[in-house]
Copies of this chain bind each other. A is one copy, B any other.
Amino acid sequence: MGRGGDRSRGGLVRPVAVVHAGAGKLSSELRENEDRCRAVLLEVLDNARMMLDAGRAALETAKTLVQIMEDCDLFNAGYGSALCSDGSVRMSAAVMRGSDRAAGAVAGIKIVKHPVIAAYAVLHSHQVLMIGEDADTLAIAAGAERMANEHFVTDRQRTRLAQQAEDGDHGTVGAVCLDHQGVLAAATSTGGLTGQPPGRVGDSPLIGAGTWADQSVAVSCTGDGEAFIRGGTARRLATLVERGASLRSAANDALVDVSDLGGRGGLIALDSAGHAVMPFTADAMPRGYWRANEEPRVCVMEAEDLPPS
């Protein structure tokens, strides 16, 4: 709280938050729910504004923004996650702080209400990645709220599993933030793919694949998870930026690499100067952007490039 105050005399960084709710096919479902989707993203960005303006840290803010999206049944993370082939929900999430590259991630958890809080708990443990029941246990011991697996299951996702629906699995939710201190952070959370084997893990919880933050850039990816893993996408983007590439060219380059691997998707990336990009190669990627002293802006289906980076 108010940690940015010290630097206000020397030059306070102008906070920024960028969020996404997954890149995927343009489903009729998304069209029908566009207004609600837009409202949730605006609420998320309003939280970003309140937290970052109050001097809260990027990591804590990114975690909270993802947590809010996990509670929304429209998005494939937390409540309303896609169902595995056995009808159960398995969730994965990761968080990373850029200043010291502290990271925490969970994969295949079942009974923690907010997977991103489980990832946050792992960040504060000796581990970086915990999987399965042990990850559930660690998170609950650290104070994360417990919830029976069936509580995550929505009728919408039951129908989707029954139909073996593959479109509209808008992979993940994610947030990248820059705080008053100039610290970057990233958070990503996902329920995986409809009908996936319960043990399948995509890129979201994998540091350097779907989630990354260092002192120069924070990244959260979404899309065909296997291609993003094989691309080492987030880490590649960050290394290109570190070696002098612009954020935009590095981000585009990263998605071209994913395309070369047969994958589609999108990402949000934010650098330490507050520049943001949100490119995607899928049909749609609900996304939003807020910068201090500006109104938040949200796009759900529009292809336009949202932030003025």
B226 contacts A208, C-beta separation under 8 Å: no
B127 contacts A230, C-beta separation under 8 Å: no
- List, in ascending order, chain B residues with CB within 8 A of A134's CB: 197-200
Q: Is A82 an interface residue (CB 8 A)?
A: no
- Shortest beta-carbon distance from A176 to chain B in Å: 16
Q: Is A162 an interface residue (CB 8 A)?
A: no
Task: Give the most central of A133, A232, A235: most B CB within 10 Å.
Answer: A232
Kindly supply a per-residue 1/0 record for chain A positions 38-77, scoring 1 wherever the CB is within 8 Å of any chain B CB and 0 otherwise: 0000000000000000000000000000000000000000
Segment at the interface with B among A2-10, A24-32, A148-156, A237-245: A237-245
Q: When chains A and B are docked, how far (Å) is the Cα of A212 from the Cα of B226?
A: 14
Task: Give the most central of A129, A226, A230: most B CB within 10 Å.
Answer: A129
> Which residues of A (91-138) have their CB < 8 Å from a CB of B?
96, 101-103, 107-108, 126-135, 137-138
B229 contacts A207, C-beta separation under 8 Å: yes
B130 contacts A230, C-beta separation under 8 Å: no
- List, in ascending order, chain B residues with CB within 8 A of A12's CB: none
Q: Per a CB cutoff under 8 Å, which of B126, B138, B199, B232 touches A226? A: B126
- Shortest beta-carbon distance from A84 to chain B in Å: 9
Q: Is A173 an interface residue (CB 8 A)?
A: no
Q: Is A21 an interface residue (CB 8 A)?
A: no
Q: Is A201 an interface residue (CB 8 A)?
A: yes
Can you report 21 A-B residue pairs in the complex whose CB atoms are below 8 A from each other? A96-B230, A103-B229, A107-B201, A108-B132, A128-B226, A129-B200, A130-B197, A131-B131, A131-B199, A134-B197, A137-B199, A206-B206, A206-B209, A207-B209, A207-B229, A208-B208, A208-B232, A232-B238, A235-B236, A239-B240, A239-B243
